[in-house]
Amino acid sequence: MIPVQQRSGLSIADLPARASNVDDTRKILGGKRTIWNCTNRYHGSFCRRVEIWWGHRASDARWACDRWSSCCSRNGGCTARRI
């Protein structure tokens, strides 16, 4: 299999910001998705659930939580737990 970067000219880190849409990114990466709960790291409350289609590590999910949830971004960031 040819690495994503060689096929698309993008690194895995670029995909969330650069993909034209979710379907294009899923085609590049084979359609795998993971779902994560975002919990504020300071007050411990649940903020939201995110579904990611790249990376699939806790650090990738934390990035999504902190970028896509105002509860996370304005309150010091979130931790992510795969469900």
Q: How much is the pLDDT for 2?
A: 42
- What b/e string do you get for 19-34 counting C-beta neighbours within 10 Å, with b at 16 or more? beeeeebeebbeeeeb
pLDDT score at 55: 86
Q: What is the tens place of the pLDDT at every residue in 7-27?
A: 444 445 554 554 445 555 555
pTM of the entire predicted model: 0.62
Neighbours of 42 (CB within 10 A): 10
What are the DSSP E strand ranges found in 27-70?
34-40, 46-52
Give the model confidence (pLDDT) of 43-60 as tens digits.
Answer: 899 999 999 998 889 999
> What pLDDT is recorded for position 3?
43
**What is d(CA 70, CA 78) in angstroms, rounded to the nearest whole number?**
10
pLDDT of residue 6: 41
